[in-house]
Structure 1
Amino acid sequence: MALTEKIVDYPDADTACKGFLAWDDARPGPLPAVLISHAWGGRQEVFNQKARDLARLGYAVFALDMYGEGRTGTTVEECSALMQPLVADRALLSRRINAALAAVGGLPQVDSRRIAAMGYCFGGLCVLDLARSGAKVRGVVSIHGLLKAPAGVARAPIVAKVLVLHGHDDPMAPVEDVIGFEKEMTAANVDWQLHAYGRTKHAFTDPHANNPDLGLLYNPDAERRAYVSLLNFLEEVLR
C-alpha cells in the first residue's frame, strides 16, 4: 500500500475551493471514487481522515469543500454563518457540490464512470441535493443528514441509488421530514433505502457529540451499524 494524498484546487464560479484527495497509489487505476461532503464546520481534519480510511479500501476519496478556500468554523456562530447562505440558496448549494463532482471526474486517479458521494449532517443534505440535480453518480449516502427537498429549484430525474442512515430521534430530521423524503423518493421512482436507528439522535457518528438537550449525541452502536451499511452500499454501487 502506498497511500497518497494532496490538496486539489477547483473552482465554482468566483469561489476557489480546496478539496482533499487520498488514494492508494499501489492499486492500478483509475479507481472508483467517493466524494465526502463535510458537516457544518467545513472540511475539517476529521473528514480528511475519513477519506484516508476509505482510500485504504481501494477508493479514490475526495473530501470536498462547500465553503471555499478550505474555510472551517469552530463555534456555533461561525459554523452557522458558513452554512446558512447555502441552506438558504439551494440552487447555489447544488451548483457548488456539482463543481466538486466535475473536478473529481476529471482527475487521472478516478474512473469517472464509478463515482459515489456521501455526507454528514449538512453534508448529507448536500449529497441528496446532488442526486436531486440529476448528477450522474452511482449512489449517494446521507449520514444523519437533513432531508427536506428544496423549494423552487429546478430538478432532473434522479439516477443515483440513495441510502439514508438516520437516527430516529434526530430533531433536525423529524418524522414528518422522513415521511416527506420517502414520498419524494418513491414518486421519483428512485432505488432508495432508509435505515432508522432507534433511540438515536443527531450526529450519532461523532464521538464529540454530547448535548442531548440539542439532540446531539454519539451512539457507538449506531455508528458501527451505519459504517457496515455504508461499506456494503459502496461495494454494491461501485463494483
Structure 2
Amino acid sequence: MAIISNTVGYMDGDVQLEAFFAFDDALSGRRPAVLINHAWGGRDEFVAEKARKLAELGYVGFALDMYGMGILGSGPEENARLMQPFMADRALLQKRIQAALYAVKLLPWVDDSKIAAIGFCFGGLCVLDLARTGADIKGVVSFHGLLGAPDNTRGTAIKAKVLALHGHDDPMVSPEQVLAFEREMTEAGADWQLHAYGHTMHAFTNPVANDPAFGTVYQADADRRSWQAMQNFLAELFL
C-alpha cells in the first residue's frame, strides 16, 4: 500500500477552490470516489485525514472546498461568518458542492459511475443537499449534520441512498427536526437510514470537540460506530 495525496484546483464560477485528495497507488484501474465535505471551519487536516483513511479502504478520498483556496476559520465567530452565506442561500451551497462533484469526476483514478459523499456538521448538511438536488450519485453520509431542508428542492426525487448518523442529544438538531427529516426523505422516495447514538452530542467524531455548554463533545464509541456504519454503507453502494 502506497497512499499518494495531493491538492487539485477547481472552479465554481469565478471562485477558485482547492481540494485535497488521496488514493492507494498500489491499486490498478479506476475506483469509487468519496467526496468529503468539511465542517464550518473549512477544508482542514480533519478532512484530509479522512481522505487518507478512505484511500486505505480502496477509494479515492476527495476533501472538497466550500470556501475558497486557503480559507480557514480561526474560531467559532469566523467559522459562523464563513458558513452563513451558504446557510442563507442553499442554491449557492448546492452549486458549490456540485462543482466539487464535477471536479472529482475528472481525476484519472476515479470511476465516475461510483461516487458517494460524506460530510461532517455543516458538511453533513451540504452532502444531504447534494442528494436533495437529485444528483446522480450512489449515496451520501451525514455525520452529526444539520438536517433542516432547503426551500428549493421540494418535489425533487432523491436518487442517492442516504445515511444520517446523529447524536441523540445534539442540541443543534431538535427531535422535531429529526422527524421532519424522516418525513422529507420518505416523501422524496429516498432509500434512507438514520442511526441515533445515545448520550451523544454534536461533533461526536471530532477528538478536539470539548465544549458541553456549546453542545460539541467528542464521543469515542459513537465515532467508532459511525465510521464502521459508513464503511458498511459504502461497501453496499459500490457492490
Q: Indicate if the aligned counterparts of 2:37 and 2:117 stay in contact, CA closer than 8 A.
A: yes
Task: Name the residue aligned to 1:124.
Answer: 124
* Secondary structure of 1:43 counterpart: coil
My pick for the range that moved more, 156-165 or 117-126, is 156-165
Q: Indicate if the aligned counterparts of 1:116 and 1:238 stay in contact, CA closer than 8 A.
A: no
Task: Name the residue aligned to 1:30.
Answer: 30
Runs of 4+ in 1 over 6 A off after TM superposition: none
* Secondary structure of 1:214 counterpart: coil
Superposed displacement of residue 68, structure 1: 1.0
CA distance in 2, matches of 1:122, 1:213: 19
Superposed displacement of residue 155, structure 1: 6.3
Does residue 180 (structure 1) correspond to residue 172 (structure 2)? The answer is no
CA distance in 2, matches of 1:84, 1:180: 22
CA distance in 1, matches of 2:80, 2:153: 22
Q: Structure 1, residues 70-123: CA drift from partner, whole Å, max 9, x if none?
A: 311121111111110111110000000000000001211100000000000000
Task: Name the residue aligned to 1:203.
Answer: 203
CA distance in 2, matches of 1:238, 1:232: 10
Report how many aligned residue pairs link the two structures.
Answer: 239
Does residue 236 (structure 1) correspond to residue 218 (structure 2)? The answer is no
Task: Name the residue aligned to 1:20.
Answer: 20
CA distance in 2, matches of 1:192, 1:186: 8
Q: Indicate if the aligned counterparts of 2:133 and 2:153 stay in contact, CA closer than 8 A.
A: no
Task: Name the residue aligned to 1:109.
Answer: 109
Superposed displacement of residue 154, structure 1: 6.8
Q: Structure 1, residues 143-187: CA drift from partner, whole Å, max 9, x if none?
A: 000000001457632100000000011011110110000000011
Q: Indicate if the aligned counterparts of 2:156 and 2:188 stay in contact, CA closer than 8 A.
A: no
User: CA, structure 1 residues 49+124, in 2 after alignment: closer, same or farther (shift >3 Å)?
Assistant: same
User: CA, structure 1 residues 81+127, in 2 after alignment: closer, same or farther (shift >3 Å)?
Assistant: same
Q: Indicate if the aligned counterparts of 1:171 and 1:201 stay in contact, CA closer than 8 A.
A: yes
Task: Name the residue aligned to 1:91.
Answer: 91
RMSD across aligned positions (CA): 1.0
Unaligned runs of 5+ in 2: none
* Secondary structure of 2:213 counterpart: helix
TM-score (norm 1): 0.98
Does residue 3 (structure 1) correspond to residue 13 (structure 2)? The answer is no
CA distance in 2, matches of 1:140, 1:185: 13
Task: Name the residue aligned to 1:164.
Answer: 164
Unaligned runs of 5+ in 1: none
CA distance in 2, matches of 1:196, 1:152: 27
Superposed displacement of residue 26, structure 1: 1.3
The alignment-based identity, stated in percent, is 59
Q: Indicate if the aligned counterparts of 2:47 and 2:63 stay in contact, CA closer than 8 A.
A: yes
